Amino acid sequence: MKKSYSQWNVLQEKLNNQKDSFLEYFFTSKYRYIEIKLPYYEYLRGEVFCQDFIDLFEEAPYTFSVKSLMSIIFKDFLTQIKKGTNYESMARFLVENKYKYIDPPKKETRVLKQVNTNLFSFETNEEEVAVKEENSRTAYLTIKIQDKMLLRGEIFLHDLSPFLHKEQLQIEELFAILYLDFIAKVKEKGNNVDVMKAILNRIT
């Protein structure tokens, strides 16, 4: 079965459709919509950051939102990738943060299992660690993305896949990981005016 790098799987779509050239595809203005899942608190934290951004700059659009922020972070990430990257360390970064921000933490337990009346063996099980209800709410965001950006992201994940070993990543997860890593830095260090100015330059 072919790997899917997003809910649309545009890379496979283009490989299967030889009629359209890649050159033509990269100059199209078609858009698609992808759904991103975020922990609800982290979504709210992003909304606060966006409001701070709007309050700081008069020229900032009042419509600036978490969706806008996520799109800028994603585009900036792809721009950096075009300049070259160490795929091994990038794979490690993304997988570690996927476990940190998206996948629920898991722990291994050893269970004593009776084989017969005189013999016992140990069996290893994985179980999810309980998460408090107030922290488990999820925000669902629908993001509008150009086909050419979606394709570029899928090609990046395809190039990255040999370094992921058994792990898999999709564009929707990449969006979430990059955003959540950004918000984690904001929570740790506060709003960085230089970063906010860089965001303003992307949209004005």
Q: What is the mean pLDDT of residues 13-40?
A: 74
Q: What is the mean pLDDT of residues 16-28?
A: 58
Q: Domains of the chain: which residue ranges? A: 10-93+134-203
Q: Are 188 and 195 in contact (CB under 8 A)?
A: no
131 against 12, higher pLDDT: 12
Lowest mean pLDDT among 44-58, 105-119, 146-160: 105-119
Strand-pair partners of 32: 145
Burial per residue of 6-22, b for 16 or more beta-carbon CB atoms within 10 angstroms, e otherwise? bebbbbbebeeeeeeee
Is residue 6 within a helix (H) or strand (E), and if so which, with residue range?
Answer: none
Per-residue tokens: 15:
């490989």
pLDDT tens digits, 135-162: 568 999 999 999 889 999 999 999 999 9
How many of the other CB atoms lie within 10 Å of CB of 172? 19
Q: Given a cut of 90, is residue 103 above it in pLDDT?
A: no
Give the pLDDT of residue 7: 79
Give the pLDDT of residue 169: 94
Helix (H, G, I), strand (E, B) or coil at 161: helix
Q: Given a cut of 60, is residue 174 above it in pLDDT?
A: yes
pLDDT tens digits, 181-190: 999 999 999 9
pLDDT tens digits, 80-102: 999 999 999 999 999 999 999 98
Strand-pair partners of 119: 116
Angle, alpha carbons 38-199-187 (nearest 5°): 50
R_g of the chain, CA atoms, integer Å: 21
Q: Are 127 and 106 in contact (CB under 8 A)?
A: yes
What is the distance, to the nearest Å, from the Cα of residue 63 to the centroid of all Cα atoms in its chain? Answer: 22
* Eight-state DSSP code of residue 8: S
How many of the other CB atoms lie within 10 Å of CB of 70? 22
pLDDT above 70 covers what percent of the chain? 77
How many of the other CB atoms lie within 10 Å of CB of 61? 13
177 against 135, higher pLDDT: 177
How many of the other CB atoms lie within 10 Å of CB of 65? 16
Lowest mean pLDDT among 80-84, 103-107, 111-115, 154-158: 111-115
Give the pLDDT of residue 96: 94
Q: Are 75 and 146 in contact (CB under 8 A)?
A: no
Strand-pair partners of 124: 110
